[in-house]
Amino acid sequence: MLPAYFEKRSNSLFFIVFLVVGLQFISRILLATIYDNYKRRMENRAENKSEQRITTIKSYFKLYDKNDSGVLDIEQAKKFFALIFDLNYKEPNDRTMFRKIMTVVDVDNSKTVKLENVIEFFQLPNFLDLD
């Protein structure tokens, strides 16, 4: 009678260990799958947001580009960036911010802003951090 009791006990212990190990394996696979799907969804969301931002910037740029040349002069650029960044040129900090933006966007120092340069500027991941 005693050996049969130990045999049943070892079978049930083996079954419990098998279940614990199997459930751990399945839960880790499930967690990895959920994480991959979440990561892919967040990347898609960031990409869509970037595309939407560029589309909006293009539409605002066209509002100030009167002759559809793809270039804004300095006055048009001031109005454009004042709209986008809510700048008030009476404030010294806002004037400094505009000068920093112009150093990035006006690559040839011609006091004009090209659409391509504006799009490149807004595609930067840290375009709000001009320092």
Q: How far is Cα 57 from Cα 94, in angstroms, rounded to an integer?
A: 19
| Whole-structure pTM value | 0.66
pLDDT per residue as tens digits for the range 20-45: 999 999 999 999 999 999 999 999 99
Go through 1-25 and write b for each residue having 16 or more CB atoms within 10 A of its CB, e for each that does not.
eeeeeeeeeeeeeeeeeeeeeeeee
Which of left, alpha, beta for 81 (phi over 0: left; psi -120 to 50: alpha)?
Answer: alpha
Any idea which residue has 């009476």 for tokens? 90
Model pLDDT for residues 70-100, shown as the tens digit of each residue? 899 889 999 999 998 888 888 999 888 888 8
Which domains are present in the chain?
A: 2-123 (1.10.238.10)
Is the separation of the CB atoms in 115 and 58 below 8 Å? yes
pLDDT band per the 50, 70, 90 thresholds, residue 48: very high
pLDDT confidence of residue 3: 56
Q: Residue for token digits 């910037």?
A: 57
Q: Which two tokens stand for residue 7?
A: 């045999």
User: Which of 25, 47, 43 is CA-nearest to residue 35?
Assistant: 43
Amino acid at 86: D
